[in-house]
Amino acid sequence: MDNVTRICLSEEEEVRLKVRIQKFYKIKDKDTSKPFKVLGILVTRDMHQGILKMSQSDYIEHMLIRFNMSECNPIATPIDKASHMQDGESQLYESQKTYQALTGSLTYAAMLTQPDIGYVTQYLSQANKNPTQCDWNAVKWVLRYLKGTKDMGIMFRRDWDATHIQHGPLTPWGFCDANYVEDPHDCKSTSGFVFMLASSPILWKSKKQLSVSLSTMEAEYYALGIVCQEAAWLKQIGQELLMSLNKPIHIYSDNTGAIALSNNPVFHNRSKHIDICWHFVRELIRSKIVRTSHIPGTQNRADFLTKALSRSEHDRCIKLLGME
């Protein structure tokens, strides 16, 4: 066991916990006033400015060396929007294991501190069984992007964004989005969500939907159902950590149809085919576990978890997430 992170209500409780652990193991406290690593994540704190930063620069540098990309030229976006989803070279890549190793390494970074590569990582992982040369070129494109952004990470600030002060400093809020019929091969859509706490991302995911949606509203409603599942889980985690999450967790979507369907239990002919399991969103709203609201697409922080974006659009999402 290399790294253990403690969460305690007071210093006295922390001391008691350490004494109990020391009865069985030799432990050494890290000086948290200096940069330290936890599970490969570099944690940097500035007590004067009230900033905590989490990044994986060393991990990314090691990945670049491992896959012979340390001398590559950096680029501004993790995916080439111009060639994305276009049929490229169909020749199979020579080493399936190398491709899988790289997508696995990218997934680890995407899950911990790099939500900006969340979409492209899950998309390229779908080719793990039979990657083509085009797929290999795309994963190398991601490495070139990471070469230029390896020092970027998640920033937690004491003076957090006042525009969301209604949520409170310890109340999470989420954003969800969907890209309708994103994959022309199977006509399935892609969902994405991100949760914020004190204006910093704490939970995010990009995933292809399991079924085909018949409309944009349906795809967005499925995405809303997925993010509400995570909201209910966050509520439970908050209770275990003795966080006071009495108010509903606010969920934002840029689709007015999905928001209306989640709040209105009236039977609709155009939505009667939607699987009943997704209508538990309405139950969560009635139970005041979540609350749904509309937000303009340009302010949706989950936008780059569902599709390839231009440089300006990608930079906008990075700024909205407060990553530096």
Task: Please spell the DSSP secondary structure of 260-277, one letter per residue.
Answer: HHHH--S--TTTTTS-GG
Task: Give the C-alpha separation, 300 to 320, whole Å.
Answer: 8
Which domain-ending residue is among 127, 149, 171? 149
Residue 42 lies in a domain: no
Position with higher pLDDT, 17 vs 1: 17
Mean predicted lDDT score pLDDT of the chain? 87
Residue 39 included in any domain: no
pLDDT at 166: 61
Same domain as 246, residue 222: yes
Q: What is residue 318's predicted lDDT score, i.e. its pLDDT?
A: 95
The pLDDT of residue 2 is 65
Quick check: is 37 in a domain? no
Residues 66 and 174 in one domain: no
Residues 126 and 174 in one domain: no
Residues 6+ apart with CB under 8 A from 284: 228, 231, 232, 290
Query: What CATH code is carried by the domain that includes residue 179?
Result: 3.30.420.10
**Is 235 within the bounds of a domain?**
yes
Same domain, residue pair 166 and 303 = yes
% of the chain exceeding 70 in pLDDT: 90
Residue with the larger pLDDT of the pair 66 and 273: 66
**Which one of 149, 182, 203 terminates a domain?**
149
pLDDT classification of 282: cutoffs 50, 70, 90: confident
Domain that holds residue 136: 57-149
Is residue 178 located within the same domain as residue 285?
Answer: yes
Same domain? 306 vs 224: yes
Quick one: DSSP state of residue 5?
A: -
Do 135 and 181 sit in the same domain of this protein?
Answer: no
User: Among 105-109, 243-247, 255-259, where is mean pLDDT lowest?
Assistant: 243-247
Split into its structural domains, the chain has a count of 2
pLDDT for residue 302 is more than 70: yes
Average pLDDT of the segment spanning 149-171: 74
The tens digit of pLDDT for each residue in 83-92 reads 776 666 678 8
Same domain, 205 and 255: yes
Are residues 193 and 216 both part of a single domain? yes
Do residues 178 and 299 both lie within one domain?
A: yes
Whether residue 257 is contained in a domain is answered as yes
Evaluate whether residue 30 is within a structural domain: no
Phi-psi region of 96 (alpha: psi -120 to 50; beta: other; left: phi over 0): alpha
**Shared domain check, 262 and 127:** no
Distances (CA, A) of 242 to 6, 65, 235: 14, 43, 10
* Residue 3 within any structural domain of the chain: no
The reply to whether 171 and 308 lie within a common domain is yes
Assess if residue 180 is contained within a domain: yes
Give the pLDDT confidence score for residue 88 in this predicted structure. Answer: 60
**Domain C-terminal end among 89, 122, 149:** 149
